[in-house]
A and B are shown apart, each in its own frame.
Chain A
Amino acid sequence: KNEVEQSPQNLTAQEGEFITINCSYSVGISALHWLQQHPGGGIVSLFMLSSGKKKHGRLIATINIQEKHSSLHITASHPRDSAVYICAVPTGNQFYFGTGTSLTVIP
């Protein structure tokens, strides 16, 4: 069992839909990262959060430390949001990654 679990693994949405990607983890952490990997392969760090909620444009990330759960929301999704979204948690000397959620937004 992975220390970090994401759901869904694959997600197809129509342009404009509200999207939610979930991340659950089993290790104790002080923060959680959401990463975006574009179809070309590059990885971009979207959020690093340790409590509550953060918003950047149409992206919103929330975390509940007690429940060991985080969500990434995309409002008014757009085809350029198509990418793989990866949840990552640093703990101790390790950095654990989820398997990623592949999002495809159809025009």
Chain B
Amino acid sequence: DTAVSQTPKYLVTQMGNDKSIKCEQNLGHDTMYWYKQDSKKFLKIMFSYNNKELIINETVPNRFSPKSPDKAHLNLHINSLELGDSAVYFCASREGTGRRTDTQYFGPGTRLTVL
């Protein structure tokens, strides 16, 4: 009964491939996020998404695209993977849509290694 789950936990792939990371939350939350944590442990927000709007961090390459089949899922698709994409990717969710002060719940992370 994990609140926020991600699959896979580990992903190893070669440059140029296209891959997806799945995220599901069973909390009934309205807003979901994708974060990237680089080798220096620095967390950066990539996307936030709710029923009404997708907000993209302008520094994120357009090779990255979030896809939300329903409110409980926000998957991350990455095209043409590059070495620099190697990182840990965290999914998170929070209850509201307008109040960014709600607590976020994080998934366990997906460690992506691009060879």
Asked if residues A100 and B41 are in contact (CB atoms below 8 Å), the reply is yes
Asked if residues B88 and A41 are in contact (CB atoms below 8 Å), the reply is yes
State the Cβ distance, A18 to closest chain B Cβ, in Å. 24
Interface size on B, residues (CB 8 A): 23
- Tell me if A's interface is mostly helix, strand, loop or mixed: strand
Tell whether A61 is near chain B: CB-to-CB under 8 Å. Answer: no
Asked if residues A88 and B106 are in contact (CB atoms below 8 Å), the reply is no
Report A-chain residues with C-beta under 8 Å of the C-beta of B40.
Answer: 99
Q: If A93-B48, A93-B55, A95-B33 touch, does A45 touch B42 (CB 8 Å cutoff)?
A: no
Q: Mark A63-105, 1 if CB is under 8 A from B, else 0.
A: 0000000000000000000001010101101110101101000
Q: If A48-B103, A99-B41 touch, does A42 touch B108 (CB 8 Å cutoff)?
A: yes
Report B-chain residues with C-beta under 8 Å of the C-beta of A90.
Answer: 100-101
State the Cβ distance, A48 to closest chain B Cβ, in Å. 5
Q: Which of B33, B43, B102, B104 has the most CB of A within 10 A?
A: B43
Asked if residues A94 and B109 are in contact (CB atoms below 8 Å), the reply is no
Interface size on A, residues (CB 8 A): 24
Pick from A48, A50, A97, A102: contact of B43, CB under 8 Å: A97
Q: If A94-B45, A99-B41, A99-B42 touch, does A45 touch B108 (CB 8 Å cutoff)?
A: no
Pick from B88, B100, B106, B111: contact of A44, CB under 8 Å: B106
Q: Whole-angstrom distance between the alpha carbons of A41 and B110 in the complex?
A: 10
Asked if residues B104 and A45 are in contact (CB atoms below 8 Å), the reply is yes
Q: Whole-angstrom distance between the alpha carbons of A95 and B34 in the complex?
A: 11
Pick from A35, A42, A43, A48: contact of B102, CB under 8 Å: A48
Q: Whole-angstrom distance between the alpha carbons of A37 and B45 in the complex?
A: 16
Chain B residues in the interface with A (C-beta under 8 A): 33, 40-45, 48, 55, 57, 88, 90, 92, 100-106, 108-109, 111
